[in-house]
Amino acid sequence: MAHASSNRPTQRPESGLRVSMHDVAKHAGLSRSAVSLALQGHPSIPPGTRERVQAAAAHVGYRKNPLVAALMSSRRRGAGAAMSQSPLAYLTSHVPAESWRQAGTHRRFHASAARRAAELGFRLDEFSLGEPGLRPERVRVLLRARGIQGLLIAPLPGEQTRLDFDITDFSAVSLGMSVRDPGIDRVADDHFHGAREAFDRTRALGYRRIGLALAASVSRRLDNRWWAGFLVAQQTQPERLRFPALMPETRQEVPDQLKVWIRRHRLDAVVFTLRNPELMKVAPADVGLVSLSVPDATGRVAGIRQDEQRVGAEAIDLLVARLQRWTTGPSESPRLNLIPGVWSPGLSAPGVGRRRRALI
Label the pairing between strands 10-11 and 18-19.
antiparallel
Q: What are the residue boundaries of the structural domains of the chain, listed by start?
A: 10-64, 83-189+309-339, 191-306
**In sequence order, what are the residues at sequence separation of 6 or more whose Cβ sits closer than 8 angstroms to the Cβ of residue 141?**
none
- Model confidence pLDDT, tens digit, residues 27-73: 888 887 777 777 766 666 788 888 888 888 888 877 665 555 554 44
Of residues 277 and 108, the one with the higher pLDDT is: 108
Of residues 7 and 21, the one with the higher pLDDT is: 21
pTM score of the predicted model: 0.76
**pLDDT the model gives residue 66:** 53
Residue 7 has pLDDT above 50, yes or no: no
- Model confidence pLDDT, tens digit, residues 228-252: 999 999 999 999 999 999 999 999 9
**pLDDT the model gives residue 13:** 42
Q: Architecture of domain 10-64 in CATH?
A: Orthogonal Bundle (1.10)
Q: Which amino acid is at 264?
A: R
Average pLDDT over residues 281-303: 92
The beta strands (E) that lie in the chain are given as 10-11, 18-19, 86-92, 122-128, 150-153, 171-175, 185-189, 210-213, 269-272, 288-291, 302-305, 336-339, 342-344
Of residues 360 and 162, the one with the higher pLDDT is: 162
Average pLDDT over residues 87-113: 94
Average pLDDT over residues 115-139: 92
Cα 201 to Cα 324: distance, rounded to the nearest angstrom: 42
Residue 79 has pLDDT above 70, yes or no: no
Residue 279 has pLDDT above 60, yes or no: yes
Low-confidence winner among 69-83, 104-118, 209-223, 271-285 (lowest mean pLDDT): 69-83
DSSP H/E element including 105: helix 104-119
- Report angle CA 5, 6, 11 to the nearest 5 degrees: 100
> Helical H runs in 120-155?
136-145
Report residue 18's pLDDT band, with 50, 70 and 90 as the boundaries.
low
Q: What kind of fold does domain 191-306 have according to CATH? A: Rossmann fold (3.40.50)
Of residues 306 and 39, the one with the higher pLDDT is: 306
What does R_g of the chain's alpha carbons equal in angstroms?
25
Distances (CA, A) of 151 to 72, 162, 169, 275: 18, 15, 10, 27
**pLDDT the model gives residue 47:** 81
CATH superfamily of 83-189+309-339: Response regulator (3.40.50.2300)
**pLDDT the model gives residue 90:** 97
Distances (CA, A) of 179 to 41, 186, 320, 328: 33, 8, 19, 16
Provide the mean pLDDT of the chain.
86
Residue 19 near residue 9 (C-beta atoms within 8 A) = yes
Residue 176 near residue 188 (C-beta atoms within 8 A) = yes
**pLDDT the model gives residue 65:** 55
Residues 115-150 as b or e (16 or more Cβ within 10 Å = b): ebbeebebebbebbbeeeeeeeeebbeebeebbbbb
Average pLDDT over residues 279-295: 92
- Model confidence pLDDT, tens digit, residues 307-331: 999 999 999 999 999 998 888 999 9
**pLDDT the model gives residue 231:** 98
**pLDDT the model gives residue 38:** 78
**pLDDT the model gives residue 67:** 52
**pLDDT the model gives residue 61:** 76
Residue 275 has pLDDT above 80, yes or no: no
- Model confidence pLDDT, tens digit, residues 141-185: 999 888 899 999 999 998 899 999 999 989 999 999 999 999 999
- Model confidence pLDDT, tens digit, residues 331-352: 989 999 999 999 999 999 999 9
Cis preceding-peptide flag for 255 (omega within 30 of 0): no
Cα 245 to Cα 134: distance, rounded to the nearest angstrom: 42
Identical topology for domains 10-64 and 191-306: no
φ, ψ dihedrals at 208, nearest 5°: -125, -35
Q: What is the DSSP letter of 162?
A: B
Low-confidence winner among 82-91, 117-126, 166-175, 278-287 (lowest mean pLDDT): 82-91
